[in-house]
């Protein structure tokens, strides 16, 4: 079984959060680091390109939306913003402001600072 990071969450859970990535297991095997009897991977090694492209807050926002099983339109309505603004935030073209981050945190019971 493959694990990402130190929290030992199965990679299959990450697949639900990052749809559209082709052959993610192949990407992960490329960066595999063996430790004891486990296969461990650095989040930065495996997802670094996505983080560079979209920004960590944007990627987290997109992951949250996918975890909730919502389209951009439905997620935007839930958060009372336009789909265009949501897309810009998810793709790192627009910053997630402190007030909006607090709204996300309250809505989903998360620490808002993760989105800054």
Report pLDDT digits (tens) over 11-25.
Answer: 434 443 455 454 455
Q: Using CA atoms, how far apart are residues 20 and 30, in angstroms rounded to an integer?
A: 19
* pLDDT of res. 104: 92
pLDDT: is 60 or 52 the higher one? 60
- Predicted TM-score (pTM) above 0.85: no
Alpha carbon distances (Å) from 113 to 7, 13, 104: 20, 23, 10
Q: Using CA atoms, how far apart are residues 75 and 7, in angstroms rounded to an integer?
A: 27
- Among 91, 89, 115, 90, which Cα is nearest to 103's? 115
């Amino acid at each position: 079984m493959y694990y990402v990071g130190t929290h030992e969450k199965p990679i299959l859970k990450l697949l639900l959060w990052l749809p559209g990535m082709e052959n993610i297991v192949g990407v992960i095997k490329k960066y595999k680091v063996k430790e004891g009897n486990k296969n461990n991977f650095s989040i930065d090694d495996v997802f670094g390109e996505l983080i560079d492209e979209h920004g960590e807050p944007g990627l987290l926002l997109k992951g949250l939306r996918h975890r909730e099983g919502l389209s951009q339109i439905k997620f935007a309505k839930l958060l009372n913003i336009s789909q265009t603004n949501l897309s810009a935030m998810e793709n790192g073209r627009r910053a997630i402001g402190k007030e909006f981050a607090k709204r996300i945190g309250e809505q989903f019971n998360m620490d808002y600072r993760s989105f800054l």
